[in-house]
């Protein structure tokens, strides 16, 4: 039997009930065995983080810089191996897995630099002979709860800034993908983090996550996941006056205008909707197309989607890996049935397919003749399912794209500077893409959305300081 990967609490690796991490490309393949933490373990982890906070918050900049930098170097040196682990446990294709591991390394590298760049402001008071200093301080114990769809990048973009700014951490990854989470915690631990600064509690959201939500000693909580869980985080956090940050779902539009370059349009939409098996919060599932280009665009896109190679995430040439698990596959298939019953036209895909190994394979589904009122256009499916909505002109396209409760990412494919510029200003989304897929935000720029997609400050880049620090305004009188 393979070695048990244990939780890290107060600097010690702690046993727990073993849970198998299953490969969605081949359910006979057990990626590894991971210890499940209990609510009591979680409380110990929070206590350890609280005890470690005073020293870590005052630790030398060079110590923090060295640990984050060493972590970045190890992740980048091991990016193929970590990318393979990611693809094996989550189902992204190997190039996508390696790309995500690389991004995690780059994030640690960025925040290693940010340790040395933290600055404040001094301003004169409106009163004479009085000076004001504005500084940033760490928040305290940060709880980190992450989803399964970016098993290494999302933990990296929360853990790196939390540690950079002097916070201590209790980290709970999604139970489906403990492998990458354990690997980066192991790397950080060996890079020299003092005991209790970073604690790993793998396990169920309803147990471990809930224990974090219930604790008044978690001073800030950063969450990425579904909207309903996000609301629980918000309610629990308000009760204990905790700072919180939510990144949640999306129903991202991509507009294709008559003047678009057809090839660019097809590739942009195919990538936005179906790559990473459509399991990205920034994936676009509403394709809003103006009349003049509609028929030829749909024909070309259907051809591209029909030829997408669905297969084992680790096989060379696979473009679309499996869905992450049986329950997500059921959800995808259920929405495909809903789309049909609502009167949308399924032009290609949508059926479960088999490969040489037992896995959760779904042929990407493309609907046409959808309306923006259908459930498939309003609710997040989180799979390789997209629908085309036909509109008359740019004005209707913009109104349709904004007619959603979400507001994460929005795209437009056009050769018109006028429409591109107007769309950038008027799209109700946190991130806007012109002639580019709706997913794919660099690691050094802000990430986040509006409306039901996000709450609180942006993640990533220098904007991360907003959540992971508190501002202090201090006065001195010259006497």
Answer yes or no whether residue 145 interacts with ligand NDP by CB under 6 A.
yes
Q: Cβ of residue 212: shortest distance to ligand NDP, in angstroms? A: 7
Beta carbon nearer to ligand NDP, 250 or 311:
250
Among 73, 210, 363, 402, indicate the residue that binds ligand NDP (CB under 6 A). 210
Among 140, 225, 339, 461, binds ligand NDP (CB under 6 A): 225
Nearest distance from C-beta of residue 180 to ligand NDP, angstroms? 13
| CB-nearer residue toward ligand NDP: 102 or 222 | 222
Of the candidate residues 38, 146, 237, 438, the single one contacting ligand NDP (CB under 6 A): 146
- The window from 96-104, 206-214, 261-269, 344-352 that contacts ligand NDP (CB under 6 A) reads 206-214
Does residue number 250 form part of the binding site for ligand NDP (CB under 6 A)? yes
209 interacts with ligand NDP by CB under 6 A: yes
The reply to whether 205 sits near ligand NDP by the rule CB under 6 A is yes
Q: Contact between 247 and ligand NDP (CB under 6 A)? A: yes
How many CB atoms within 10 Å of residue 167?
A: 26
Q: Is 427 in the site for ligand NDP (CB under 6 A)?
A: no
171 lines the binding site for ligand NDP (CB under 6 A): no
The yes or no reply on residue 35 touching ligand NDP (CB under 6 A) is no
281 touches ligand NDP (CB under 6 A): yes
**Smallest separation, CB 75 to ligand NDP (Å):** 20
Q: Does 222 bind ligand NDP (CB under 6 A)?
A: no
Minimal distance, residue 267 CB to ligand NDP, in Å: 23
* 14 touching ligand NDP, by CB under 6 A: no
Query: Does residue number 226 form part of the binding site for ligand NDP (CB under 6 A)?
Result: yes
Binding segment toward ligand NDP, per CB under 6 A, in 29-37, 50-58, 170-178, 344-352: 170-178
Q: Does 382 bind ligand NDP (CB under 6 A)?
A: yes
Q: Give the nearest distance from C-beta 201 to ligand NDP in angstroms.
A: 11
Contact status: 155 vs ligand NDP (CB under 6 A) = no
Q: Which residues are at the interface with ligand NDP (CB under 6 A)?
A: 145-150, 172, 174-175, 204-206, 209-210, 213, 224-226, 229, 232, 247-250, 281, 380, 382, 408, 453
């Amino acid at each position: 039997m393979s070695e048990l990967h244990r939780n890290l609490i107060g600097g010690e690796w702690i046993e727990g009930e073993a849970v198998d991490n299953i490969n969605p490309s081949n359910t006979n393949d057990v990626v590894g065995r991971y210890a499940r933490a209990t609510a009591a373990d979680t409380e110990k982890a929070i206590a350890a983080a609280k005890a470690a906070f005073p020293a870590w918050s005052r630790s030398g900049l060079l110590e923090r810089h060295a640990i984050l930098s060493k972590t970045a170097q190890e992740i980048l040196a091991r990016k193929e191996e970590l990318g393979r682990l990611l693809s094996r446990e989550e189902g992204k294709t190997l190039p996508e897995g390696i790309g995500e591991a690389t991004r995690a390394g780059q994030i640690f590298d960025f925040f290693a630099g940010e340790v040395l760049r933290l600055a404040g402001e001094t301003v004169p008071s409106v009163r004479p002979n009085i000076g004001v200093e504005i500084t940033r301080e760490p928040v305290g114990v940060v709880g980190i709860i992450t989803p399964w769809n970016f098993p290494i990048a999302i933990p990296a973009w929360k853990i790196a800034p939390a540690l950079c700014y002097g916070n201590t951490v209790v980290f709970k990854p999604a139970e489906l993908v403990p492998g990458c989470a354990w690997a980066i915690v192991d790397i950080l631990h060996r890079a020299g983090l003092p005991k209790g600064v970073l604690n790993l509690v793998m396990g169920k959201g309803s147990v471990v996550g809930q224990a974090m939500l219930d604790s008044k000693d978690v001073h800030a909580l950063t969450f990425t996941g579904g909207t309903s869980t996000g609301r629980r985080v918000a309610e629990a956090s308000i009760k204990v006056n905790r700072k919180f940050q939510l990144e949640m779902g999306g129903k991202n539009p991509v507009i294709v205008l008559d003047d678009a370059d057809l090839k660019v349009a097809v590739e942009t939409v195919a990538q936005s909707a179906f790559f990473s098996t459509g399991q990205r919060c920034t994936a676009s599932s509403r394709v809003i197309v103006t009349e003049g280009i509609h028929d030829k665009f749909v024909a070309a896109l259907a051809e591209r989607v029909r030829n997408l190679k669905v297969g084992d995430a680790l096989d060379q040439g696979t473009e679309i890996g499996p869905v992450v698990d049986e329950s997500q596959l059921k959800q995808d298939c259920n929405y495909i049935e809903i789309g049909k019953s609502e009167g949308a036209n399924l032009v290609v895909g949508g059926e479960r397919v088999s490969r040489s190994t037992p896995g959760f394979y779904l042929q990407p589904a493309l609907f046409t003749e959808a309306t923006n009122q259908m459930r498939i256009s309003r609710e997040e499916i989180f799979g390789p399912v997209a629908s085309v909505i036909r509109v008359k002109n740019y004005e209707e396209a913009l109104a349709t794209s904004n007619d959603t409760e979400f507001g994460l990412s929005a795209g437009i494919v056009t050769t018109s500077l006028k429409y591109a510029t107007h769309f950038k200003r008027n799209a109700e989304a946190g991130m806007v893409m012109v002639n580019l897929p709706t997913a794919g935000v660099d690691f050094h720029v802000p990430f986040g959305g509006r409306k039901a997609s996000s709450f609180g400050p942006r993640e990533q880049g220098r904007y991360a300081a907003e959540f992971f620090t508190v501002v202090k305004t201090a006065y001195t009188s010259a006497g």
